Structure 1
Amino acid sequence: MSFGDPNNPYGQQPPQGQPGHPQQAPQGVPPQYGYPQQPPQGAVPQYGYPQQAPPPYGAYPPPGMPAPGMPGSGMPPLAHWGLRVGAYLLDLLIILGPMYALIGLGAAVASDESTEAIAGILSLIGMLYTLGMAVFQLYKEGTTGQSIGKRIVGISLHRETDGSTIGFGMAFVRKLAHFLDGAACYIGYLWPLWDEKKQTFADKVCSTVVIKVNQNG
Structure 2
Amino acid sequence: MSFGDPNPNNPYGQQPGQQPQGQPPQGQPGYGYPQQAPQGVPPQGQPGYGYPQQQPGVPPQGQPGYGYPQQAPGTLQANSGYINIPTLGTVEVASMGRRLGARCIDAVVIGVLYGILSAIGLASALGLAKSTDDCGSNLDPGYQSCVNDASVSIIATMFGVLALFILITLLYEWLLISLIGATLGKKALGLKVVKENTGMAPGLGAGFIRWIIPIVGAFLCYIGAILTYLSPFFDNSGKLQGWHDRAAGTLVIKQ
- Bin of the TM-score, shorter chain as denominator length: 0.5 to 0.7
Deviations 1:14-36 (A, max 9, x none): xxxxxxxxxxxxxxxxxxxxxxx
The 1:160/1:127 distance shift into structure 2, 3 A limit, reads same
The 1:180/1:208 distance shift into structure 2, 3 A limit, reads farther
The 1:102/1:199 distance shift into structure 2, 3 A limit, reads same
- How many residue pairs align between the two structures? 153
Classify the secondary structure of the residue corresponding to 2:232: helix
CA distance in 2, matches of 1:193, 1:81: 8
CA distance in 2, matches of 1:187, 1:167: 24
The 1:149/1:123 distance shift into structure 2, 3 A limit, reads farther
Are residue 83 (structure 1) and residue 101 (structure 2) matched? no
**Alignment match, 2:164:** 128
User: For the Cα contact (< 8 Å) 1:145–1:166, is it kept in 2?
Assistant: yes
Q: What is the aligned counterpart of 2:190 among 140, 154, 174?
A: 154
The residue identity in structure 1 corresponding to 2:245 is D
- CA drift of 1:91 comes to 2.2
Please give the residue correspondences for 1:105-120 in structure 2 after superposition, counting only pairs within 5 Å. Answer: 107=122, 110=126, 112-113=130-131
Q: Mark the runs of 5 or more structure 1 residues left unpaired by the alignment.
A: 1-60
- CA drift of 1:89 comes to 2.5
Classify the secondary structure of the residue corresponding to 2:73: coil
Q: What is the aligned counterpart of 1:202 among 227, 244, 250?
A: 244
Q: Mark the runs of 5 or more structure 2 residues left unpaired by the alignment.
A: 1-68, 133-149
Deviations 1:113-132 (A, max 9, x none): 29x989x8798567536513
User: For the Cα contact (< 8 Å) 1:91–1:148, is it kept in 2?
Assistant: yes
Please give the residue correspondences for 1:182-201 in structure 2 after superposition, counting only pairs within 5 Å. Answer: 186-193=226-233, 195=235, 196-201=238-243
Q: Which TM-score applies when normalising by structure 2? A: 0.46
Please give the residue correspondences for 1:40-189 in structure 2 after superposition, counting only pairs within 5 Å. Answer: 64-67=72-75, 69-70=81-82, 75-104=90-119, 107=122, 110=126, 112-113=130-131, 124=160, 127-128=163-164, 130-178=166-214, 179=216, 186-189=226-229
User: For the Cα contact (< 8 Å) 1:102–1:123, is it kept in 2?
Assistant: no
- CA drift of 1:174 comes to 1.5
Q: Provide the aligned C-alpha RMSD in A.
A: 4.1
User: For the Cα contact (< 8 Å) 1:99–1:130, is it kept in 2?
Assistant: no
Deviations 1:138-192 (A, max 9, x none): 1121111111221112100001122111101210012223357987795443232
- CA drift of 1:198 comes to 0.8
CA distance in 2, matches of 1:88, 1:180: 16
The 1:168/1:190 distance shift into structure 2, 3 A limit, reads same
The residue identity in structure 2 corresponding to 1:193 is F
**Alignment match, 2:254:** 212
User: For the Cα contact (< 8 Å) 1:79–1:212, is it kept in 2?
Assistant: yes
- CA drift of 1:65 comes to 2.8
The residue identity in structure 2 corresponding to 1:87 is A
Q: Which TM-score applies when normalising by structure 1? A: 0.53
Range with greater deviation from structure 2 (129-138 or 86-95): 129-138
User: For the Cα contact (< 8 Å) 1:100–1:126, is it kept in 2?
Assistant: no
CA distance in 2, matches of 1:207, 1:62: 23
